[in-house]
Structure formats: C-alpha cells, structure tokens
Amino acid sequence: MYEGFLPTTKKEMDDLGIEQFDYIYITGDAYVDHPSFGAAIVTRLIESMGFSIGIISQPDWHTDRDFRRFGAPKYAFLVTAGNIDSMVAHYTAAKRKRSDDAYTAGGAAGKRPDRAVIVYCQKLREYFGNVPVIIGGLEASLRRFAHYDYWDDAVRPSVLVDSGADLLMYGMGEHQIQELCTRLAKGENIHEIHDIRGTCYLTEPVNTPLGAAQCPSFEQVRDSKPEYAKAVKIQYDWQDEVYGKTIIQRHGRMMLVQLPPAYSLTTEELDHIYSLPYTRAIHPSYEALGGVPGIEEVRFSITHNRGCFGYCNFCSIALHQGRRITVRSVESVLAEAERITKMPDFKGYIHDVGGPTADFRRPSCDKQLSKGLCMGKKCLAPKPCPALKVDHTEYLSMLRKIRKVKGVKKVFIRSGIRYDYLIEDKDDEFMKELIMHHVSGQLKVAPEHCSAVVLDKMGKPHIEAYKRFQKRFYEITKGMGKEQYLVPYLMSSHPGSTLNEAIDLALFLKENKIRPEQVQDFYPTPGTISTAMFYTELDPYTMEKVYVPKTPKEKAMQRALLQYFLPKNKEIVLEALRAAGRRDLIGTSPKCLVADDNRGQGNNPRKGGDRPWQNTSKTRKASSGPQAKNTGSTKGRSSSFGNSQKSGTRNGQNGKRKH
C-alpha cells in the first residue's frame, strides 16, 4: 500500500513506476483521505486488494486536460459527483445559487458542474470511447430510477441512461466494488456482469430477468403522477436485503434492471474497512487554499454504525444505505480513538461517536435478521412497534471505554440521537450519562413538527414522544445542577402542512419557549418518499391526496411563522394569520403571536423568557451534506463510490439533519 495519499498527479504516477492505473477514480469533491468520506473508503479498499488507483479530483470539465491526466485505466473509470448530489451542493431549497461548497478547497463554489455524474461520464465517452465507466455515490444512487428533479421541475430518466455509463452501484459499495474488481481482473466483460447485488444495468427487454417487480415505465411516470407514486412505493417496498426483489423499469427501448441490495457488511468487514491506512487529512495541495471545510468537525469523529430503522420519509438512508443496523466492534472503535489521540493537532476532544443515528447498536427487533424489515411499516412511527427492543448497554459501555483512553478529555455525540427510541429505554442510565458527559451545552434532536397530520407524512412519531423526552431531559439536567438545553430541529412546508399546521407549530414553539435562529424549508431531493408527495400531491402508500405548499409566498409564510418573534417577519406573519382566519392570534395578549402595532411582544426577540440561543433546523450542507453546515455529525454515511460517510441524508441527502 502507498504511504500517505494516493496519487493525484502524473508525476506521482511516474515516481511510483506505474505505467497504467488499474482504476481511475473521478470525484466532484476535493480529495480528503478520511473514513468519513466514501471516496477514501472505496479507493483505499481497492488499493488494499492489490490494484493501482489514481484520483482525479474536481476535474475542469471545460477542457480535456484533467480527464486525460493519467490516460486510460486498465479496467475502468469510477465516477462520483462527490459526497452529495451536485444540484443540492449548488442550490438552496429556494433554488438560489449557493455561495460556498463545504467539499471544495477554501469552501469555493463552482468547482463541479451541475449534474456532475452525467457531465463527467459524457466527457469520458468523448475522450476515451468505450473504456468501461462505472458510477456510484449519492447522486447516482438516488437517481437510479426515473425520478422527479426539483430543479428541472420534471421527471428525468435514470442517471444510468443520461450518463451513458456501463454500470451503476447503489448503496454502500464495498461488496460491489470488491466483486467487480475481482471479476474484471479475471477478464470478464463489463457488459456481461449482470449478477452483482447492489448494481443496476441496462439491457434489451428480451433479456429482462424473470420474477422481477416491475415499476411503471419512465414514459408512464413522466406523464402520470399516480403512476409515479406507484413506482416509488414499489422501489421502497422491495428495498430489503432479505426479501428484496430485482426491480425493473422500462426506459424506451431498454430495460433498467436493479438487482437486490448488497448484503450489509459484517462487523468483521466493517472493522477491516476502518483499519485501512487513512491519513485522516485533506490533500496537502489544499492547504494554501484554506483547507476543505467539510473535514473540520469529522476529523476527530468516529463512525460506529451504519443504517437506520427510523425510516423518515424525507430521508434518503432507507433507499441508499438501508434500514438494517450494522456495527463495528468495540475494539475497532477504541483502536480508532487511540489513533486519533496520536494526531498532532488533537486537543483531547472527540467530536462524535455516531452514525446515521448515534444510539443504534442493534436491530430494532430480532426477526428482521431472518425475515427482513417489515414492508411499508416503521419501527418507531407513529408509535413504537410492540416488537421494538431498546438497549443502550453496549453503546454506553463503549462510550465509557473511549472516555478512559489516554489523551481523551471529552467525548461528544453530535450525530442524531433518536429521542423517541431513547425515551422507550426503561433504564435511565444512558440518558443520565449522555447528559453528564456527552452534551456540549446543547443536544440536537429532531421532532420536526408538532402536527400529527404533518408528522404522519414525514414518517415521524407524534409530538407526545418529544414532550416525554423533553420533560425527562430537563428533570435529569436540573437534578445534576447543569444548564443544558435541547435544540429541536424543525422543518417548514413539508407535504401535509397547511398554514394552519404551521400556526400550530408556531404556538407550540411559543408555549415551549423555543426560538429557532434558523428554519429549513422542505427540500425535495431525488428519490425520497416525501419528494414523491411533493411532486404528485399523493401519498404513495395510500394514494390519498396530500396538501403541498408550493408557492414561494406560502413557503415564506410558513417559514416566517416559525420565527414569528423576529421584527422583520411581522408583516408576513400578520398576512399569514389573516389568510388563515386566525386574527385571534394578533394582538398583545399572552396568547398572541404578533402585535398589530409597533409596541407588541412580537417585536422583541428576547422578550418573554424565550431562549434565543436555541438554534433550529440549519441547512447543513456538510452535507447540506449532502449543506452553518453540520459537519460535526457523522450521519448518513455511505461509501458507494463517494458519498460522505456523513452525508447521505436527511431531507434527501444533504448531510443535513435526518432524524
């Protein structure tokens, strides 16, 4: 294996005596060799198998210079847009151009093209003809079927069709890439490798495998919203590694074939992945440009699990990473903690020990190991399943051991804690130690809304679970003599939310003395159930009509209602209340949200004992991303070619909050 970073220049290639790389990896991100980034995991894994690999990071797509840097690979080009969907990286939920990019040196925007996977692949075809091209990562994974594209406001075909690539890897990519590399080295033709789980390919309809679940075709879902909703349900229903089926979808004269998901990595396999010789740093070429913002919080973070059975409708994890929980061994996590303590700039603080959901260390129930996760059902919503098994014992034991590692002063948990799971634990021991040792003044949790109507469309538990958790959190905190607070993430304008639901949420915030500094609008990102609702105005699981706030005016009203206390929002809040027929909430009495003159309580954002420090629902592009950016989280991690091991998704995939 190489010592230090993998080669990125022709000089490094020549210095290593390599005449032709086996694989060339092209990414829309800056090169960061850290296991929180899928690019690092995939390239290190390929290297560990004995193959040579070169990295082309953020190639200039206006010229052939970067693409031709190494010549053609022996086996294949591997292409990813990077840690997040390139359109999410470039545009806000309001479709405004972003001014920064957390995965680019210096945070500079514009270093990757829109729809990067398509652009990169088309350039490779132009310059290298029929050299095999394989795509993966979040952008490819979540666009593998015909999908609604928010930025075009139209249904686009599978990215495999638009890109012209030979094969698409979806989900976590380690098993797929290992099998593919082995078989290509044996001389198999990429066009004949049609049996690797976790991949998609195009074929003539006559070659369609038997027994597959068929979605309505691209043409049908493009032209009919009910057909689109039906297709999304099929795609989610059969997304299980135990009972999942091959899924097919006709695209013109070709058939898109998605094979069942790859099997989750075992604990031993995960341990191996995290033992590879990462430098845990950005490439030195970026130092003079100010570094890469996306690494700052995860530099000293540890991923201990994968998957999430929370299964929120706006989150991409179920369709990409999967609902089954897999974990690293405690020994592997401790070994990584010890490696972190030896890093020259380590100050004693481990920023996170988490994953998509930090406190999941076991399946939600035992039967899913042999039967799979229940089709169309959720383990925690609207109420916890009777079969749910809640156990924080191993996670707590692991945290205690990390705290004892020499050089560690403090261990924080910054990725998502599922409060609805935690509050079901009959033993308070974990919650007490969480509050005592692992909260840095504020604990971020995600009730998202208070309306049962909206929460049902989100796939989230009802607000009573949050109230129970909030009550117990403050009881324990007060009992310890500590001053710590909950920071609840909230979302405006999700499908199902009318102005009345937004007003209910504003009243809930007022009652609980919560004043969010920032609010996130629902962002319709590719592939999620919530995005299907946004586009079709139908619930894919009931085919019932769903109210969807779509106009900029109504979205602005709903967002402003969650910050009713800000003077700048006064007029739009007044307009929203009048439009909803809620003039009873206009005035100076304690029940009102906003005054009707300049002397009302709504004009002093710190009046009335509310907590102005409470920071809710940032657009966290660490993602989002997946995109302040919540790069301190290790959520939503994925590795198929190059999603951030932290970005993947809430609200799609932006590295924004998910749970």
Q: Helices 174-185 and 38-48 sit at what angle, rounded to 10 degrees?
A: 40
Q: What is the mean pLDDT of the chain?
A: 91
**What is the C-alpha to C-alpha distance for residues 643 and 143, in angstroms, rounded to an integer?**
14
Greater confidence (429 vs 619) lies with 429
- Cα angle 113, 119, 123; round to 5: 125
Q: Residue 71 contacts by C-beta under 8 Å, 6 or more apart in sequence? A: 20
Q: Residue 64 contacts by C-beta under 8 Å, 6 or more apart in sequence? A: 123, 126, 127
Beta strands in 19-125 (DSSP E): 23-27, 32-33, 53-57, 76-80
SS3 category, 594: strand
Pairing between β-strand 326-327 and β-strand 305-306 as defined by DSSP bridges: antiparallel
SS3 category, 34: coil
571: amino acid identity, one letter: E
144: amino acid identity, one letter: R
Q: How confident is the model at residue 659 (pLDDT cuts 50, 70, 90)?
A: very low
Q: Is the pLDDT of residue 574 over 50?
A: yes
**What is the C-alpha to C-alpha distance for residues 293 and 83, in angstroms, rounded to an integer?**
13
Q: How confident is the model at residue 415 (pLDDT cuts 50, 70, 90)?
A: confident
Query: Which residue do the tokens 């657009």 mark?
Result: 619
Q: What pLDDT score was predicted for residue 16? A: 95
Q: Is the pLDDT of residue 34 over 50?
A: yes
Nearest to 307 by CA among 243, 369, 352: 369
Calculated CA dihedral for residues 301, 240, 217, 124, nearest 10 degrees: 40
Query: Which of 222-226, 432-436, 641-645 is least confident?
Result: 641-645
What is the pLDDT averaged over residues 601-624? 36
Nearest to 264 by CA among 247, 245, 239: 239
What is the pLDDT averaged over residues 591-597? 89
| DSSP calls for 342-362 | TSTT--SEE-EEESSSTT--S
**What is the C-alpha to C-alpha distance for residues 633 and 627, in angstroms, rounded to an integer?**
12
Q: How confident is the model at residue 440 (pLDDT cuts 50, 70, 90)?
A: confident
- Segment 358-406, tens digit of pLDDT: 999 999 999 999 999 999 999 999 999 999 999 999 999 999 999 999 9
Greater confidence (610 vs 112) lies with 112
State the sign of the Cα–Cα–Cα–Cα dihedral 60, 63, 64, 65: negative
Fold classification of 10-199 (topology level): Rossmann fold (3.40.50)
| Cβ pair 246, 7 in contact under 8 A | no
Q: Is the pLDDT of residue 601 over 60?
A: no
Q: Quick count: other Cβ atoms within 10 Å of Cβ 545?
A: 10
- Segment 322-361, tens digit of pLDDT: 999 999 999 999 999 999 999 999 999 999 999 999 999 9
Percent of the chain with pLDDT over 90: 87
Q: In DSSP terms, which residues pair with 23 in a beta bridge?
A: 53, 76
- Segment 522-537, tens digit of pLDDT: 999 999 999 999 999 9
Give domain limits for the chain: 10-199
Straight-line distance from the first to the last Cα atom of the chain, in angstroms, rounded to the nearest whole number: 38
Q: How confident is the model at residue 645 (pLDDT cuts 50, 70, 90)?
A: very low
Q: Is the pLDDT of residue 143 over 90?
A: yes
Q: What are phi and psi of 536, to 5 degrees?
A: -90, -20
Here the tokens at position 391 are: 């156990």
What is the pLDDT averaged over residues 147-157? 98
What is the pLDDT averaged over residues 138-143? 97
Here the tokens at position 91 are: 């545009």
Q: Is the pLDDT of residue 603 over 90?
A: no
State the sign of the Cα–Cα–Cα–Cα dihedral 443, 444, 445, 451: positive
Percent of the chain with pLDDT over 70: 90
Q: In terms of pTM, does the model score above 0.75?
A: yes
Q: Is the pLDDT of residue 315 over 80?
A: yes
61: amino acid identity, one letter: W
Q: What pLDDT score was predicted for residue 604? A: 43
Q: What pLDDT score was predicted for residue 517? A: 82
Residue 385 labelled as part of a binding site: no
Q: How confident is the model at residue 3 (pLDDT cuts 50, 70, 90)?
A: low
Residue 315 labelled as part of a binding site: yes
Q: What pLDDT score was predicted for residue 613? A: 35
Q: How confident is the model at residue 518 (pLDDT cuts 50, 70, 90)?
A: confident
Q: Give Cα separations from 217 to 160, 232, 376 (angstroms).
A: 15, 12, 22
- Segment 460-502, tens digit of pLDDT: 999 999 999 999 999 999 999 999 999 999 999 999 999 999 9
**What is the C-alpha to C-alpha distance for residues 448 and 562, in angstroms, rounded to an integer?**
11
**What is the C-alpha to C-alpha distance for residues 655 and 636, in angstroms, rounded to an integer?**
7
CA atoms within 13 A on the CB side of 287: 4
**What is the C-alpha to C-alpha distance for residues 450 and 460, in angstroms, rounded to an integer?**
10
Q: How confident is the model at residue 2 (pLDDT cuts 50, 70, 90)?
A: low
Greater confidence (282 vs 608) lies with 282
Query: Which residue do the tokens 């009318």 mark?
Result: 498
Pairing between β-strand 147-149 and β-strand 53-57 as defined by DSSP bridges: unpaired
**What is the C-alpha to C-alpha distance for residues 20 and 71, in angstroms, rounded to an integer?**
8
What is the pLDDT averaged over residues 565-569? 96
Residue 312 labelled as part of a binding site: yes
